Structure 1
Amino acid sequence: MNRSFFRWFLMVVCGGALAAISGLAQDGGRTPVDLAGLKASFEGALAKLDERYVQLDQSYLQALARLLEAETQAANLEAAVMVKKEAEAFTASAGKFKEAVFRRNLSKYEPLNRLQTKYLEARSALTRELERPKSELVRRYDQELDKLQVGLTQAGNLPEALAVREERQRLIDAPPFGQPPPASFSGKAKFVTKGEVEVFINGDPLSYRDLYEGREEDLRVTAESRPEDFKVGDILVVRSRSRTTFRGVIIALEALDGSVYVPIRLTHLSRLRDEANPKQVTTEMIASAKSEPTKGATDGEMLAAWASFGLPAADKGGSEWFQPDQANVWNTWATVITDEMILPWKVPAEK
């Protein structure tokens, strides 16, 4: 986004909202008003910025409507049905966009695929455009929260001051209020299974250190890879084989500084052909393989091994267990790392 557009954007789109936040927090030099009012102004300003996404979504639906009309007039029944289903699915998920799910459902029909790809490109560009205005909004909001916290503390209203401090911490901890995760980071892959496992990034196998100290015949793997550079758009491939009943696999990527991590969940993964060559896996191949992996079976030792890494549990948004469909058969899964998969993370103090 060029500088002139950024200045216009801040003045026209953000200006009123930022002024409202600044004005709300101060009342003629007296003690600032309550947190609820200040927070409401911030969330309203954020919603105003996000209206751009609503406009983009409407443009995409209009493009789908035009394509549907063209396919209908041309009596292309199958194509018309595909376009109609895409429009219905997109409408049903309004406000809940998930890039990984959208990419998984990219159509093989070229005219529809072209619209879907253009939408992804436009959404990515819009996200980059909004980074600076959103960062400025967060900065101003934090400034006013700081003033509010000071005023409440000086007035002896300690419970409210503590609530304001918690809100300031939320700015750091929780997207979309905190700074957006980086598009790349240096980190390690961490994974656990009971069997054989291979992990690849863009076709290259990851070297790893097995931390399991039990018997070799147990076939247990508790591993972390050597440091690697990961980025949005990387293709992660996992292959596994096990002869046991409890043959679950779980994997995540974690930044070396603990700032972010990438949990790998069932909805992220596509099951590829068992004979798929990791060096030849493409984004198109992943998108066309729509089947998710089977939920993984585990035993207590596997759960304890994964817990030892200190990453969030599945019910907290962390990685999920998956497994080969049959014992003693290699299965292959893959995913493309997206922006939304890279989540903020803080290393616990005990680590």
Structure 2
Amino acid sequence: MSVTGCGGAGDEDAATATSGQLTTRAARPSGGDPPAEAYQRGVRAGHRKILLARDVVAVAAGDGRAAWIADGRVVVRAAGAAPRTIARPVPFGADQIAIGADRDGTPTVLLASSERPGPLRSMPADGSAPPTPVPFAADGRADSAPGLRRGVVSFSRTERVGGRLRHTVRTARLDGRESVRRWDGAADTTVTRTLAVRGGVAFVSSDDGYEYGSSHALRLTGRGGAPVRGLEAVDTGESAPGSFGALQSTPDGTRLIATRWTDDQRSHPWDVTTFRAPDGTLVERHHPADHLEGDWGVDVPDGRIYTDMRHVRVGQISGEGGLVIRLRRAAP
């Protein structure tokens, strides 16, 4: 199966690869919107797999849309439509993204940095306004790992708890001025993903004090102060990194969907698991069709978007790799 591709200056058209591999065709610079052009070209050709970006920094999905950061810009795609690159640059250092709807149903993007302390920033998904700090941002605080579902923001804050610096989990209304702490954090632990679901908050914590590398746990806060529940874990070493991809939920928040991956023996991602919220009961687990192609991905209404390290810009060593969309059915 071939893949129509998207690239930049210096990319060459790739030859058809051997059986079982992807076929890519790079887009020549045209001054237009490369992800949109790559998608439209693939649709016209009837391809089910389309390369949308050569170097993506982060990807997320929510409320029927997907969004990612590539080349210093946010790209947003609604189901069945071509991606649209927002002309406004992302804040310097932004490497985390979430997309969802505000209380009124307006598609909204959240941006944050895992390396540079600062507030979460939000902007309309249509790019009609620049990214601005959220109302509940606290001066001097380091907020990261954003999630957004129906106007509820989840995130991690670096703050002192009992005199010790911790990476906590908090929630707030997108238009609110106060946030509520949902988890007090733990020693040697960072929080890399969050998402508000029915009755609690799902989050991924990474224990950097793990004896043989890192231990990543998918957790779910309980209702009404109940203990935090561990749902899944990924233990990794230096030679075989792994973790969880972007968290997703059903629109009503009663189902949590998590992709778990590892680079060990090219088995990434291991699986996509659905849990029931708020009790965390396992509902279903499967291996997506692209499980040998991408480190992690997100489901969209008309397919799946995932990263693939075989599709990167020549000389590029940062980011998560190329971004591919696999449509559920060939376009007419």
TM-score by length of 1: 0.23
Structure ranking higher in helix proportion? 1
Structure ranking higher in strand proportion? 2
TM-score by length of 2: 0.24
Q: Which protein has the larger Cα radius of gyration, Structure 1 or Structure 2?
A: 1
User: Which of 1 and 2 has higher RCO (CA within 8 Å, sep 6+)?
Assistant: 1
